[in-house]
Homo-oligomer: A and B are copies of this chain.
Amino acid sequence: MEIRTNYAADNYTIHVDHGILESRLANYSAGYDAVHFLVDHNVYELYKSSVLSFIDSPIILEGGEASKSFDAFKRITEALLERGVQRHHLIVVVGGGAVGDAGGFAAATVLRGVDYIQVPTTLLAHDSSIGGKTAINSTHGKNLIGVFYRPKAVIYDLAFLETLPDDEMLSGFGEVFKHALLNNEETVRNLMAKTQEQISLDVLKPFIIRGIETKMHYVLNDEKESGIRKHLNLGHTLGHAIEYKYKMPHGIAVVLGLYFMMFLSNRVEGRELFDLDHFKQYFIHHGYPIQKLKSIDEEEMMALMGRDKKNQSRGAIGFVLMKSIGRCHFTEIENTELKKYLSYLKESL
């Protein structure tokens, strides 16, 4: 399966399938004098004698957020230069969303930009590898230093997903679910039906592909995030605050944020757009800690949401809400109102 971007220029292909890495990559690397691999430590340990056995002496990145520090940035770029990276070389970044962000930032900045290919290895990375955002973390918050830099290709080999820890599956599925919500009612109904009992990789492929297409749609129409790309932030306003406070995997916190988005959309519209019980039971069945929302501190959550780099207003916080599944709008909710809604949410659980 292939998805092609349609920017005005600098387009690239996203390849999605099982067992495609080595062959697809060969087509690209043929055009370069040399290829340098940046590989997630955990992924390399799991796959060095199978899927990744064709790779010679990669540069190993810690994996996870540790790859996104200033120190790691220095190590990665210096390692590339040590190996003599040149402008007509190719960098291939293999790993989860964190390694993708860190490796992408290194590729974007070493020699002022060397071509690179993303090879995402987590379910969440179906999201993070699309859209050209690269970043490292500051002590002041996540992803605060980075650039927009498009890869030459994304090769999403689903073979990697088999070794994902449970938490990582749940986290990635959170973004799959968000993309289904952005899509339409039928996609959500289908997804929930196919994953009623359990979230198994077998049924996910079409939804992953839909998810990529959905994300692409927003990104293509607004690469630099000045308008509708904001809709991708669905569930993320409270999600980020919860992720920060409870040190929860990103996509799991996003599901809690999505639940609040549904709750808030119902309230703001004054009618039951979302059957909250239905979604709550589904999320809890799969292990998302919806009940955690009962114990949040309203003031604390509001302070954290106000700090978000996407939130620039005073006295109010912006949310992406829905009129119906597939139809988003951006609304600012005044602090006093919002505090009430957060209390109602807690009472309702």
A residues lining the B interface (CB < 8 Å) = 70, 73-74, 77-78, 81-82, 86-88, 108-113, 133, 135, 138-141, 144-148, 309, 312
Contact = CB atoms under 8 A, between A and B. Distances in A.
Contacts of A135: 112
17 contacts: A70-B74, A77-B144, A77-B145, A78-B139, A81-B144, A86-B312, A87-B312, A88-B312, A108-B147, A109-B145, A109-B146, A109-B147, A111-B145, A111-B309, A112-B135, A113-B147, A147-B147
A137 to B, nearest CB: 11
B138 A77 contact: yes
A112 B148 contact: yes
> How many copies of this chain does one complex carry?
2
B70 A309 contact: no
A78 B70 CA distance: 11
Contact of A110 (B81, B145, B148, B312): B145
A5 B101 CA distance: 33
A8 to B, nearest CB: 11
B81 A138 contact: yes
Contacts of A113: 147-148
Given A87-B309, A87-B312, A113-B148, 7 more contacts: A70-B74, A77-B138, A77-B145, A81-B138, A86-B312, A88-B312, A112-B147
Given A86-B312, A88-B312, A312-B86, A112 B133 contact: yes
A87 B224 CA distance: 11
Contacts of A141: 81
